[in-house]
Amino acid sequence: MRSSLRAAILAAGLLTAAPAWSAPPTPVEAKMIATVTAEHERHVKLLEALVRVNSGTMNLEGVEEVGRMMRAELEPLGFQVRWIPMAETGRAGHIVATHRGNGRGKRMLLIGHLDTVFEPDSPFQGWTRRGDIVEGPGVSDMKGGNVVIVAALRAMHAAGTLKDADVTVVFTGDEEKPGSPIALARRDLIAAGRASDVALDFEGLSREAGRDIGSIARRSANSWTLTVKARSGHSSAVCAEAMGCGANYELARIIEAFRKELPEPNLTYNVGMIAGGAKVEANAGGTGVSAIGKTNIVSGEAVALGDIRTLSDDQEARVRAKMKAIVARSLPHAEASLAFDDTGYPPMAPTEGNKALLRKLNAVNETLGLPEMPQGDPARRGAGDIAFVSFIDGLVGLGLAGDGSHAPGETADLKSLDVQAQRAALLMSRLAKEPRARR
């Protein structure tokens, strides 16, 4: 390797003893690596500024403010930035930014989101830095990932590789609590996917036992409601032939049958709330259930709410069919119904195209002197926006490493900022040189 290139990588802090240097960076790639390193504190300051703005999903003004901050980062790099209001869905809106290159390379879609789970009334606010660990609402999920996008694009711009690249950036404003109808809420993201060849998701980096993991799949997240009605009366007759056992027993039978009969790889089902009694009610938002009755009344109504997470559409259909069959085996004098809410997140299956993308990322890791990233377990990741564009090849987890997302005390590891931005800059620059497939 040329001494100047080696010096650039040493300066970036990426030279390790892990793999051999069989694929050193080109001078252009060395420029990107050095640019990310040189701008580290700039990007930390941007992250702090973003985190200090509360952008809980329902804080529409805060989400818009973060959108303006991201616009200010992208426009100087040659992106045409649009703010797409989403008042019809009850949400703030989305950023869609496009950069037109030479029209020959892979068209890339970069996915982030502006909102967090922490609304203004959350006690968890502000920013704390302890060396390379920073704490704050959304610092890893996913304002840190948004900063990685900026850092990678700035490095490409400095090295001249952005000029010819076709890149679309979509920052949704409601990833943590999608607006309704979901078809409208994700219309612009899906349209961007249709116009792209590759999707790169900048949610947090997965790590296991200190090792960076490559993520090529995400499971779905859809909710269900189980409602039971049964004959009610004096408890002295419970489970008698004329009375039956009531709604609570029927609900318990179904839930226990779910536990015994549903399990299979990559599936989880959760029972989040249960209520039963003479009368039950679930609120319109699906965030609470209540019941009234007495201990000496056979329960006439019962309800349970939960979710299922699957890795493919086929698995989703199969599991739903099993659940419906279990529900249909009613106890005497009881009737149950099962309804699914299809406004959640679809699955992103681990396709061959996604696996090929991970191999390309590992070629970048080799260039950077970093260990290979093994394919991760999709059950360790939640649902996400990239699943809406799973009809193109995709990678997940290009954002910051961190801990405790969605909970007070959420942190991010700043040591991962430069590494992730360098990975992304080199990967995107290489993809921009690959001829796009004809459709």
Residue 351 CA to residue 317 CA, distance in Å, equals 19
Mean per-residue pLDDT for 422-439? 92
Same fold for the pair 3-218+348-431 and 221-345: no
Residue 286, pLDDT > 90, answer no
Tens of pLDDT, residue by residue over 199-219, are: 999 999 999 998 999 999 999
Token look-up 């061959």 returns 352
How much is the pLDDT for 23? 76
Mean per-residue pLDDT for 278-283? 92
Residue 278 CA to residue 246 CA, distance in Å, equals 10
Tens of pLDDT, residue by residue over 214-236, are: 999 999 999 999 999 999 999 99
Phi, psi of 298 (to 5 degrees): -65, 130
How much is the pLDDT for 176? 93
Tens of pLDDT, residue by residue over 362-374, are: 999 999 999 999 9
Mean per-residue pLDDT for 119-142? 97
How much is the pLDDT for 18? 39
Q: What are the residue ranges spanned by the domains of the chain? A: 3-218+348-431, 221-345
Mean per-residue pLDDT for 245-249? 98
Residue 96, pLDDT > 70, answer yes
Residue 164 CA to residue 374 CA, distance in Å, equals 31
Mean per-residue pLDDT for 317-324? 96
Residue 396, pLDDT > 90, answer yes
How much is the pLDDT for 201? 98
DSSP assignment of 231-284: ---BGGGTTBTTTBS-HHHHHHHHHHHHHHH---TT-EEEEEEEEEESEEEE-T
Architecture label for domain 3-218+348-431: 3-Layer(aba) Sandwich (3.40)
How much is the pLDDT for 26? 96
* Mean pLDDT over each residue of the chain, to the nearest integer: 93
Residue 7, pLDDT > 80, answer no
How much is the pLDDT for 381? 80
Residue 12, pLDDT > 70, answer no
Quickly state the pLDDT bin for 380 (edges 50, 70, 90): confident
Residue 425 CA to residue 183 CA, distance in Å, equals 32
Tens of pLDDT, residue by residue over 40-52, are: 999 999 999 999 9
Tens of pLDDT, residue by residue over 148-177, are: 999 999 999 999 999 999 999 999 999 999
Instruction: Answer whether CATH 3.30.70.360 is correct for domain 221-345.
Output: yes
If we measure between CA atoms, which residue out of 89, 32, 104, 84 comes closest to residue 57? 89
How much is the pLDDT for 439? 58
